[in-house]
Amino acid sequence: MLRRNEKVELIKHTPLFATCSKKELQLIAQLADEIDLREGKEMTREGSRGREFFVLLQGEAEVTRNGRRINELGPGDFFGEIALVSDSPRTATVTATSQVRTLVITGTSFKRLMAEQPEIQRKVLLALAERLAPETL
């Protein structure tokens, strides 16, 4: 089991939370549950509504879109962050290709935190806007 400081270290490397203070990261880390998933477990499904954000701690996963592999994920990689602030459909399917240990933050818990902590909400929305903005020359 990870200690809260270890969760903070993992979470702070995700672009969505990169500008959060240590105190804010600790609040976010309190929301994270550590879970184990079996090989073959579908963590997200393309087209479905997203309700969680994942940070891989151990194991590997495959990302597919329209049935084609587009990426492989390993320890330290993350996905599903847009689901925390958006009600948009998942853009890809992510499936565990080995036994996986992951941190999971549910959208419900995160939205409650954002309502209670407007400064976190502001930082997350700015980071999301930057991530979704088209590249400029």
Q: How high does pLDDT run on average in the chain?
A: 88
Q: What is the pLDDT of residue 134?
A: 63
- Residue 47 in domain: yes
Q: Which domain holds residue 76?
A: 4-132
- Residue 99 in domain: yes
Q: Nearest 5°: phi and psi at 69?
A: -70, 130
Cα(103)–Cα(65) distance, rounded to whole angstroms? 23
Ramachandran bin of 59, using left for φ above 0, alpha for ψ from -120 to 50, beta for the remaining angles: left
- Residue 34 in domain: yes
74: pLDDT confidence band, cut at 50, 70 and 90? very high
Domain count, the chain: 1
Decide: 48 and 91 in contact? Cβ < 8 Å: no
- Residue 29 in domain: yes
CATH number for position 76: 2.60.120.10
Q: What is the pLDDT of residue 8?
A: 86
Q: pLDDT tens digits, residue range 1-29? A: 778 788 888 888 888 888 999 999 999 98
- Residue 137 in domain: no
- Residue 27 in domain: yes
137: pLDDT confidence band, cut at 50, 70 and 90? very low
114 token code pair: 């954002």
Q: What is the pLDDT of residue 76?
A: 84
- Residue 72 in domain: yes
Q: pLDDT tens digits, residue range 77-116? A: 889 877 777 778 898 999 999 999 999 999 889 889 889 9
Span between the terminal Cα atoms of the chain, in Å: 45
* Three-state secondary structure call for residue 41: coil
